[in-house]
Structure 1
Amino acid sequence: ASDAMRATLLHFLGLLASAAAVATVPSRVGPGLLNGVTVTSVANGRKVDLGKELRGGPFSGTKLLVLGTYAADFNAIEYGQKLRHYLPELRAKGVQKVMLVLNAEPSSCKAFAEVLDLPKDVTIFSDPAGDAGLAFGVSRGWLPDAPLSPFLKLYGMLFGLGAAGTLPSVIAGYLGNPNGQSKWIESSLAQGQRAGRWPDNALELDNTGKVVRNAFDTLPVVGSWGRRPLELATLRLQNMIGISLKNWESLKPTEGSTLTQLGGCVVVNQSGDV
């Protein structure tokens, strides 16, 4: 199959293998978590000991580390969009440093940051083989050691194999949630519309790019829900077409095993405690 066909297949499967890539609780949290795990700083190309970076450096306050998936994966994209939206709130709550590890080459990490318009103060690290996530204890997906195509393994995860929360999470994106959160979705859709991504009719923007009308607000009955039906699904469609597929060549993974590897996050306080 061509790269374009593989990319299309991958992202339709990825939409259905999504839920388990959210924060994973590591199997071995401790004071030495991630010590000796080397990643590459995208900003300057230097090799960094992730454990030391998490507990040392010039930042004395709370630190947040997101262990993402590969750069074209919509789970990583949504994580990036949430970081972009919630960064001011995280700062207000005392998070001094925000770090994001992607299972991607430095060039892909840079393309990821550019397409999402990530703030410069989100520190991004490159980890093409996903070593940091593995050291953290994230799930490797379905049949990680089996001599099968990673695309076939991802297909199995479509049905919940190795990712039990898959279908409920996808369905929730269509059905909505009265108690959900949608502000990050709105800001992400707006950023996408400003960048020319489709669908581009959910929001009305003024000449400065500010949202002046959200079509989901006007829906009868469900317009007042925290997350409206089809709202998250619309963002996922925009991400798939306008980011993942359009930028597949610059964002695609170089290690097949990372197609099914999931992600997680960890917060460390100023004392170095998880």
Structure 2
Amino acid sequence: MRSAITALLCSTGAALVVPLQPARPAQALDITLPRVSDGASVHLGNALAATTDRTLLCFGTHAADFNAIEYLQKVRFYLPRLRDAGVSRVACVLNADAAQCRMLAELLDVPDDVELFSDPTGEAGRKFGVSRGFRPDDDALSPYVKLFVVGIGLGPPWGTLLPVLRGYVGAPSGKRDWIEACMQQAQRAGRFPQPLELAADGSIAKNRFDDTPLASDWGVRPFELATMRLQNLIMQISRYGELGPKDPRCLTQLGGMVVVGAGGEPEYAWLDRGLCDLPDFEDVLGALS
């Protein structure tokens, strides 16, 4: 029985990593945004076209949203390996003003060499081709109703339910190192819940999910990823007044990511299909190898 469940979960996970294809980004991104660190105006399309090695550009959602937070968490963890893969420039557009971008970066300990761009209207993401959410042109329907529809797995877009479910059921062949790193950062910042036992120097002494019955040897144990997301959710709720979207269109707009090579030629592209539906960065690195 256990082997059958493991095989089913592995096949389910494999079905989740097929990215959608957005427009060619160097041509599509005819937009200039302010860089948060210094206020400089940067034309995104020109920046991608000027790439000589590799550039990663992710399109986060608004600053109090699961996807934006998880994008930054993954970028933070995988940054050294992305550098090793030849990605010399890493940037993220957030549907937030500059102050919100800075606050979220501080909350998540995002390294200074990750460039953040402020786009409170979400225009860059729409040019890239991200999903605008459920019935985006229906002005008679509350954005919060639209968000609720997608949040419970209905749509279009339809891609919320399986990624959320995986957070609860786990993944036998998944990778948990980035999840542990995110939970460690959250606990060191005083956020809850706290499933890790940290040593005096802040290192991980024990992960309580190591004691999970029948699944302690899984790559990602049941409820492990969900616990990390619960830490994020509590932070989102407590900071929503400061980090929530300025433009109601951004409440339901999803995100995406692209890695381009020389001349802005895309080597990997992804469009989110729902809440928590982000690319597996192991797949990203595999595509760049």
Task: Report the TM-score, using the length of structure 2 for normalisation.
Answer: 0.82
Q: Which of 173, 193, 200 is the matching residue for 1:179?
A: 173
Q: Which amino acid aligns with 1:33?
A: A
Structure 1 residue runs without a partner (length 5+) = 1-19
Counterpart contact for 1:25–1:138, Cα < 8 Å:
no
Contact 1:23 1:263 in 2 (8 A): no
1:8 alignment counterpart: none
Alignment pair present for 1:93 and 2:85: yes
Quote the offset at 1:245 in angstroms.
1.2
1:24 touches 1:263 (CA, 8 Å); kept in 2? no
165 and 33 in structure 1: CA distance in 2 versus 1, 3 angstrom threshold:
same
Deviation at 1:24, TM superposition (A): 4.7
How far off is 1:221 after superposition?
Answer: 2.1
Q: Aligned equivalents of 1:178 and 1:264: distance in 2?
A: 26
> Are the structure 2 counterparts of residues 234 and 30 from structure 1 closer, same or farther at C-alpha, using a change threshold of 3 Å?
closer
**Aligned position for 1:11:** none
1:33 to 28, 32, 57: 28
Q: What is the CA RMSD across the aligned residues, in angstroms?
A: 1.6
TM-superposed CA distance for 1:47, in Å, is 2.0
Counterpart in the other structure of 1:199: 193
Q: Flag the 1:253–1:89 CA change in 2: closer, same or farther, 3 A.
A: same
1:153 aligns with 2:146: yes
SS class of match (1:221): coil
After superposition, residues 252-271 of structure 1 pair within 5 angstroms as 252-271=244-263
| Match of residue 136 from structure 1 | 128
Q: Which amino acid aligns with 1:64?
A: L
Which whole-Å deviations, capped at 9, do the CAs of 1:90-125 have from their partners, x for residues lacking one?
111111010000000110000010000000110000
* Distance apart, 1:33 and its partner CA: 2.9
Q: Distance in 1 between matches of 2:216 and 2:262?
A: 41
Quote how far apart the aligned CAs of 1:150 are: 0.5
Three-state SS of the structure 1 residue aligned to 2:263 is coil
In structure 1, the partner of 2:13 is none
Aligned with residue 218 of structure 2, among 202, 212, 225: 225
Question: Residue 26 of structure 2 contacts residue 49 of structure 2 at CA under 8 Å; is this kept in 1?
Answer: no
Cα distance change, pair 226–55 in 1 and its aligned pair in 2 (3 A): same
The alpha carbon displacement at 1:64 in A equals: 0.3
| Residue 159 (structure 1) shift | 3.5
CA separation in 1, counterparts of 2:133 and 2:26? 26
1:210 is aligned to 203
Q: How does 1:163-174 map to 2 (within 5 A)?
A: 163-174=157-168
Cross-structure match for 2:277: none
Q: Residue type matched to 2:217 in 1?
A: S
Of 140, 158, 182, the match for 1:188: 182
Measure, in 1, the Cα distance between the counterparts of 2:123 and 2:26: 18
Percent identity reads 48
TM-aligned CA deviation for residue 126 of structure 1: 0.4
Q: Provide the C-alpha distance between the structure 1 equivalents of 2:157 and 2:85, rounded to a whole number of angstroms.
A: 32
Report the Cα distance in structure 1 between the residues aligned to 2:185 and 2:159, rounded to whole angstroms. Answer: 28
**Partner deviation per Cα, 1:29-79 (whole Å, 9 max, x = no partner):** 265131x212111011122211112222xx632000001100000111111
Residue of structure 2 in register with 1:237 after alignment: 230
3-state SS of paired residue (1:32): helix
Taking the aligned partners of 2:212 and 2:146, their CA distance within structure 1 comes to 39
- Structure 2 CA distance for aligned equivalents of residues 118 and 65 of structure 1: 15
Q: What is the DSSP-based 3-state SS (H/G/I as helix, E as strand, rest coil) of the residue aligned with 2:262? A: coil
Alignment check: 8 A CA contact 1:68 1:101 kept: yes
Assess if the C-alpha contact under 8 Å between 2:63 and 2:95 holds in 1: yes
SS of the residue 2:202 aligns to: coil
Q: Name the structure 2 match of 1:15.
A: none
After superposition, give the CA deviation of every residue in 1:127-165 in whole Å (9 maximum; x if it has no partner). 001111100111111100001211111122124212212
